[in-house]
Amino acid sequence: MKLDVATLTRILVGVLPVIIFLTGLTFIDSYKLIRFRSILLNIFVGIIIAFVCSIINGALIGLLGFDRATFAKHVAPFVEEILKACFIVYLIYSKRIGFMVDAAICGFAVGTGFAIIENLQLLGSMQDSNMIVWIVRGFGTAVMHGGSTAIFAIVSKSFFDRHSPPRPWFFLPGLAMAVIIHSTYNHFFVSPEVSAIAIVAGLPVVMIVVFQQSERALQRWLGAGFDTDAELLEMIATGNVSRTRIGEYLLSLKSRFPGEVVADMLCLLRIHLELSIRAKGLLLMREAGFEIPKDPEVTEKFEELKYLEKSVGKTGRLAIMPFLRWSSRDLWQLHMLGKK
């Protein structure tokens, strides 16, 4: 591929819009929940997925006997959206996504990596195409890839937050929406130019609404979490926990567990509360524009936490589960703190 001014211009038009859009998403996230290296990792995963899809799509075109236009309308959306969704499923199940805003950024980053490679691969066979084609590819198709994966991540995360325990079918509504958006765009029911304008105009509105809802949920969670965690930690630190319902419950466990195990349960609860409060504090500091250096004491507390979890065992953890509040967001905040 000859890299002249015209080709370089096509490359920039084909990849810059989706990168700029992703950059804008990270800047309007006031809590900076997703670190830069995580965004780069998501883009890299999207790049790998694009190469895998290229191989699978090529094999399926030969197997099914479809022309490329028909394949792009009816088969490619399923293949590409399912593969992009697989990594988002992993992030949600492993508690690396805490809020819908995280889901939006991670999903769009995966779609960005995918779109960059897809456009660069097409450049070889469409090098002489006019600039309008690449404007549509950059502002329409590339942003569509990011947006469809982001919407899958948002819808799936929403189902996970509202329903417990998690079920695999929680991912089906988001996947259906992503495939429909992708397939509808590829059909070009209106002109490609109008489709690109619709994507560029409509997606920012969706993202702004998601970010507003997510930040309100985060603020509610921070406020309620701080009050509850701080109150319980103060009772444990001052020794007043024995005169509370929590203390009575822990004392009742002595009939079912050895005394040293009950003591480890109390220590586990204390360390979990300390880490939880620290993680929420980090979020508030980030919102204020401060970056907190890594504290080696945090690593030590996580090591102690793992030891205590092993010491009390699965049954012991289940016994104190009501006080640990192991929701997806609580697990996410501890994961986030462990990365600091």
Write the pLDDT tens digit of every residue in 298-325. Answer: 777 778 878 888 887 877 777 666 666 5
Pair 134, 166 in one domain: yes
Q: Is 226 part of a structural domain of the chain?
A: no
Pair 41, 154 in one domain: yes
Query: Does the reported pTM lie above 0.85?
Result: no
| pLDDT range class, residue 184, cuts 50, 70, 90 | very high
| pLDDT range class, residue 2, cuts 50, 70, 90 | low
Q: What pLDDT does 226 receive?
A: 47
Pair 198, 253 in one domain: no
Q: What pLDDT does 224 receive?
A: 47
The answer to whether 210 and 154 have CB atoms below 8 angstroms apart is yes
Pair 207, 243 in one domain: no
Q: Is 105 part of a structural domain of the chain?
A: yes
Pair 192, 262 in one domain: no
Q: Is 231 part of a structural domain of the chain?
A: no
Pair 279, 165 in one domain: no
Of 184, 216, 248, the position where a domain reaches its end is 216
Q: Is 229 part of a structural domain of the chain?
A: no
Structural domain span for residue 260: 239-338
Q: Is 227 part of a structural domain of the chain?
A: no
Pair 144, 89 in one domain: yes
Q: Is 228 part of a structural domain of the chain?
A: no
Q: What pLDDT does 58 receive?
A: 93
Pair 49, 97 in one domain: yes
Q: Is 66 part of a structural domain of the chain?
A: yes
Pair 178, 245 in one domain: no
Domain count, the chain: 2
Is 57 a residue whose pLDDT tops 80?
yes
Q: Is 221 part of a structural domain of the chain?
A: no
Contacts of 90 (CB under 8 A, 6+ apart): none
Question: What digits encode the pLDDT tens for the residues 61-96?
Answer: 989 989 988 999 999 999 999 999 999 999 988 878
The answer to whether 156 and 32 have CB atoms below 8 angstroms apart is no
Of 156, 183, 216, the position where a domain reaches its end is 216
Pair 209, 307 in one domain: no
Angle (CA) 36-170-186 rounded to 5° is 70
Pair 166, 128 in one domain: yes
